[in-house]
Amino acid sequence: MKFRSMVVTAIVLGGLMLFAEIAAAQTPASFGYAINDAGWVTGDVTPALGEVAVHAFVWNGKTMRDLGTLGGEFSNGSAINNAGWVTGTSTTATGEQHAFLWNGKTMRDLGTLGGGYSYGMAINEAGQVTGDASTATGEQHAFLWDGKTMRNLGTLGGQFSNGSAINNAGSVTGSSTTATGEQHAFLWDGKTMRDLGTLGGEYSQGYAINNAGWVTGGSTTATGEQHAFLWDGKTMRDLGTLGGSCCGWLIYGSAINNAGSVTGSSTTATFEQRAFLWDGKTMRDLGTLGGEYSQGYAINNAGWVTGGFGTAIDSRAFLWNGKTMRDLGTLGGWYTGAGDINNAGWVTGTSTTATGEFHAFLWDGKTMRDLGTLGGSY
């Protein structure tokens, strides 16, 4: 339902204000990144600043469980499937960073492609994982872990590729460099890596894929603008903008549902950033709730969207239910960042409390529940 932990995007938008708030708090924090249809959440939790340890967690509807590490001090949960299996990355006892799969009982090291690094970015219902890993020659390549081995998906002729998302058929999207040095979105269909091309420019990135194999992301045009795109299995379609052409990094499709509806971000003719919903025909401006910007991060199969909006002094998460944009509120503080939405319309993310701590939350359609932390020490 999404391309990455959208809390990362929200943190970027919050800028130095958010990082300063974390630094000032000097308290444990937790961050919710992904949610499954049962309402289970994964993310990571940190103790007070000055300590090194950061651990991935699963919240199973009742308690927050520490997933541990692969022997090091750090782990992060990036994605969760409906079985409650989690992928992400962890440091090992030797200091390397490896992708992992947590199967509800143990954290399995997925290894690398010969180098010292790998990251699990997304997981499907079969437990297949994609992400990127370093090779023995120092290149970074997209991979598919099929339950037994980590498969190198190669590149489009360059030295770099990354896997951003995977569907239930095991098809992967992401981006890769070409032999001429351009960066293009790709679709790996189980046999070959297909170059999805661009909208006329030199850059494209695939961020999300649905179960039909349709891909959304961002691409540059022949005039140098960046637009959101939809690749429908045959062609890359330009989804246009909300009237703007400024600031290409603000215009992209971030998530797609199984009906082919897309959400993301675009700029308007007045240079404002807005969340959008593309319904197969038109790009709809989802507006804001009085703020200066909005972004769409994730979409469920009903077409409901979650994302963020904000002003110069605060940032909030929203839920768009097909008719109206709702402010999800906070845990008592000034900030809320949305991470993901499930098919019931439940949302996870991160919010500040009245005492300034950052805690993962679950919004269940009625209230925002504080998922707490793991106590601040390991």
pLDDT at 69: 95
Cα–Cα distance, 32 to 44 (Å, whole number): 7
pLDDT at 376: 60
Burial class (CB in 10 A: 0-12, 13-18, 19+), 104: exposed
Rounded alpha-carbon distances, angstroms, from residue 377 to 68, 106, 140, 262, 368 = 12, 21, 34, 40, 25
Cα–Cα distance, 99 to 234 (Å, whole number): 32
**40 φ, ψ to 5°?**
-75, 145
pLDDT at 2: 47
SS3 letters across 52-85:
CCEEEEEECCCCEEECCCEEEEEEEEEEECCCCC
User: Does residue 221 sit within a domain?
Assistant: no
Cα–Cα distance, 304 to 220 (Å, whole number): 27
pLDDT at 13: 34
The domain total for the chain is: 1
User: Does residue 378 sit within a domain?
Assistant: no
User: Does residue 320 sit within a domain?
Assistant: yes
The DSSP output letter for 248 is G
User: Does residue 92 sit within a domain?
Assistant: no
Range of the domain at 4: 1-55+286-372
Handedness of CA 53, 54, 60, 61 (dihedral sign): positive
Question: Which residues touch 175 (CB under 8 Å, ≥6 apart)?
Answer: 161, 162, 164, 183, 184, 185, 186, 204, 205, 206, 217
**343 φ, ψ to 5°?**
-75, -10
Helix (H) or strand (E) holding 25: helix 6-25
Rounded alpha-carbon distances, angstroms, from residue 371 to 15, 66, 75, 177 = 24, 13, 18, 40
User: Does residue 336 sit within a domain?
Assistant: yes
User: Does residue 20 sit within a domain?
Assistant: yes
What is the residue-level pLDDT of the chain in tens, covering all 378 positions?
444 433 333 333 333 334 334 444 457 789 999 999 999 999 999 865 555 578 999 999 999 999 999 999 999 999 999 999 999 999 999 999 999 999 999 999 999 999 999 999 999 999 999 999 999 999 999 999 999 999 999 999 999 999 999 999 999 999 999 999 999 999 999 999 999 999 999 999 999 999 999 999 999 999 999 999 999 999 999 999 998 776 656 689 999 999 999 999 998 988 889 999 999 999 999 999 988 799 999 999 999 999 999 876 789 999 999 999 999 999 999 999 999 999 999 999 999 999 989 999 999 999 999 999 987 643
Cα–Cα distance, 288 to 277 (Å, whole number): 13
User: Does residue 125 sit within a domain?
Assistant: no
pLDDT at 48: 55
As given in the structure block, the two tokens for residue 131 are: 């992400």
User: Does residue 228 sit within a domain?
Assistant: no
What is this structure's pTM?
0.92
